[in-house]
Amino acid sequence: PIFILGMPRSGTSLAEQILASHPDVFGAGELPTIPELIGAAMAESRSPWPDLARGLSDERRSELAARYLDALPEAAGDAPFVVDKLPPNFWYLGFIRLLFPRATIIHTMRHPIDVCLSIFTQRFSNDLLFDHDLSDLAHYYRQYRRLMDFWEGWEPALIPLSYERMVADQDGETRRLIERLGLAWDDRVLAFHETDRDVLTASRLQVRQPIYSSSVEKWRRYETGLTPLIEALGPLADYQAYLAARGL
């Protein structure tokens, strides 16, 4: 499996659509399997997460990994790679690594103010609980960054993918991504918007279009109304510093 995770509205659907345009990759969408497996493992072991991780034997981890693979959509067929792009899987990155030590994990990133604004203005079909309050959004984002700072220090194999860099240099960033995955190049990944597949996320219309830049720094149009969000984010609002610290 290939896991794509990060904040909602950070480019996870775009990344999946690009990869799913490759003939060796099947895009399975937002699979609930990882959190469901954790829930089942907690119930079976009567131990909370993450305590139960300490008692997972190699045999038990193999069993849970097999259950994950058995739950993949039948439509995936014999595809060598299957993408699971549930954004909040960043909460469970350690569990993913226990089950799949060699799985590719892609972390999508986008300017924190843009990503929070996009969540704030999007009517989601499910209740995210934090999506329509700027203070709640900032709090959730801070927890996301706290966790990802830890995971990035612990897991050097994470692949960072910047939404803004993909928009600015689609060809270069896509080639780097395909190379990191060890896939042969295929021009169809650049024409991702022509790929005919079901997309059930809030970005279902955007991924039908070629790369566009109008969503980059969109927050500046509404800056005066976003003061509570910007203040609550504090230093985390400095996106360029975040990228620079990661050599991006």
pTM for the complete prediction?
0.88
Instruction: Round to the nearest angstrom and report the end-to-end CA distance of the chain.
Output: 25
CA distances from 144 to 36, 85, 119, 174, 175 (A): 20, 16, 14, 25, 28
pLDDT for the residue numbered 209: 57
pLDDT tier for residue 140 given thresholds of 50, 70 and 90: very high
The residues, ordered by sequence, that sit 6+ positions from 170 with a Cβ below 8 Å of its Cβ are 190, 211
pLDDT for the residue numbered 80: 93
Query: In which residue are the tokens 């794509």 written?
Result: 4
pLDDT tier for residue 51 given thresholds of 50, 70 and 90: confident
- Is residue 132's pLDDT more than 90? no
CA distance 132 to 122: 9
- Is residue 59's pLDDT more than 80? yes
pLDDT tier for residue 157 given thresholds of 50, 70 and 90: confident
CA distance 23 to 174: 15
The angle at the Cα of 219, spanning 124 to 131, to the nearest 5 degrees, equals 25
- The 3-state DSSP class for residue 20 equals helix
The angle at the Cα of 16, spanning 73 to 38, to the nearest 5 degrees, equals 55
In one-letter notation, the amino acid at residue 46 is: R
- The 3-state DSSP class for residue 15 equals helix
Which of 7, 1, 52 lies closest to 27, judged by CA? 1
pLDDT for the residue numbered 237: 92
pLDDT tier for residue 230 given thresholds of 50, 70 and 90: very high
pLDDT digits 0-9 by tens, 82-106:
999 999 999 999 999 999 999 999 9
| Contact indicator for 105, 157 with CB cutoff of 8 Å | yes
pLDDT for the residue numbered 217: 74
pLDDT digits 0-9 by tens, 191-218:
877 776 454 555 454 555 566 666 777 7
Query: In which residue are the tokens 């609002």 written?
Result: 237
pLDDT for the residue numbered 216: 73
27 phi and psi angles, rounded to 5 deg: -90, 110
Q: What is the mean pLDDT of residues 234-245?
A: 89
Q: What is the mean pLDDT of residues 39-47?
A: 90
